[in-house]
Amino acid sequence: MSKQSLPEDFFWGNSTSSMQTEGAVHEGGKGPSVYDTYRNNDGTSVWDNAIDEYHRYQEDLDLMAKQGINCYRFQISWSRVNPTGDGDFNQEGIDFYSHLIDELLKRQIEPMICLYHFDMPLALAKKYNGFLSRHVVDAFVRYGKKMIDLFGDRVKYWLTFNEQNLYFMPGAYKIAGCIKGEETLTGIYQISHYVMLAHARIANYLHKNTTCQIGGMLAYSEVYPVSSIPQDIQCARQIDEFLNKNLLDVFVYGHYSNEVVAFVKNHHLKLDVLAADLDEISNTRSDYFAFSYYQSATISSSLVPAEAAPNYYLTYGGKENPFLPVNEWGWSIDPSGFRDILTKTYNQYQIPLFPVENGIGLREEYSGSEIIDDQRIAYHREHLKALKKAMLVDGVPIIGYLVWGLIDIPSSSGNIDKRYGMVYVSHTDRKSSNLKRIPKKSYWWFQKAIKTNGDNLD
């Protein structure tokens, strides 16, 4: 590798989730997930069809192959392969993913599996209230082990939970399938522990029984103090410790952050944490650290109540950074924060880094001519430059760069007008016309970037 070149085995790829792509919610023996219950005011749902990946995946894999993509991170829908979450497995659902994997390998695209991306099987949500229940941990581990047994011979790279630190933040109940009761701080801490226990059990099983690789994944946002006031700096540090390093400590060292453990003790949070849980967690290790990165944040301590837990600091004190551009939804564009996360994380934890989601949401309409999405090109160009600096200047081993996403899909909130893709899909929030795939200008730009292995980003 020359001084300015990425390694020849660098992964260029795309990430998706099942509920945002597949559709076909009533086909193939799939059971309902909590996402299948979300409806618009008029009773319609973008999730029923999404972008119809279930029927169109061959077309979309061809678009990936044509672009030069060599890695695809997709999610298995738990309720597609096990309709109730803890009952009999569904062979038709298993066959769908088996065929998908074979078609990826046929195109020389490395598959990467994520086991859970917010879409709890509805039966588990109704009966057990999602990841507030230890039974759901057992059900998830059973499902995860089955997928490893089925696909571990063909899939080398694995993730358990998408953006696992979100289970330690406000909103954790929704993504954890907890549909009963009001969200509490104790509940968030309990969910976070159960999710980590599930991750540890899956990771330990995978390492014991296969030669596959697995890592934890976070939604990592750089958080800056709004000023040099010491309390602003302290708040920013605590956010990083609680929301990021607490999990990274487990992924790499096998234990929770000392500061977080002290917080639980000092605030008398009554949690179901068994000695056997901590023993399982202590045996956890990661082959890489995966994360999504979209934006940075800024924290003002003056807006944070004195009694607030660090988990809630950004809810109270998050402010827009006046020194950074933002998109229409107020998400800042900060490639320097991307580099800083890559470099500081490797400096401390010394395992390879794998950014598996990076992208920008824009509002776009197709009028018969190519969509000129120069803002998206600029976003990816500058983030790739930052990645190259982290790798080639700072010495960080980076496995690859996966975009979110190649093809327009509904955002996790169901907003189709917020488009991340390099391929336009003729779909609106209220109408799914023919779902035709139409490459944007960025598709061809990224094709060139891949072909030159990142040497040509112009």
What amino acid positions are annotated as catalytic residues? Answer: 163, 357
C-alpha span between 114 and 120 (Å, rounded): 14
C-alpha span between 226 and 27 (Å, rounded): 50
Pairing relationship of beta strands 423-425 and 223-225 according to DSSP bridges = unpaired
Burial readout 234-249 (b: 16 or more C-beta within 10 A, e: otherwise)? ebbbbbbbbbbbbbbb
C-alpha span between 335 and 383 (Å, rounded): 5
Q: What is the DSSP letter of 328?
A: T
Ramachandran angles phi, psi of 223, nearest 5°: -120, 120
Structure tokens at 15: 């990430």
Sign of CA dihedral 227, 230, 234, 237: positive
Q: Which among 205, 202, 204, 212 has a CA at the least distance from the CA of 164?
A: 202
Which residues are bridge partners to 392 per DSSP? Answer: none
Q: Which among 361, 382, 350, 405 has a CA at the least distance from the CA of 454?
A: 382
Query: What stretches of 149-248 adopt beta strand conformation (E)?
Result: 157-161, 213-215, 217-219, 223-225
Q: Is 349 within 8 Å of 252 (Cβ atoms)?
A: yes
CA dist 439 to 12, 239, 335, 446, Å? Answer: 17, 39, 25, 11
| 68 Cβ contact partners less than 8 Å away, ≥ 6 residues apart | 12, 447, 450, 451
C-alpha span between 110 and 366 (Å, rounded): 31
Which residues are bridge partners to 219 per DSSP? Answer: 292
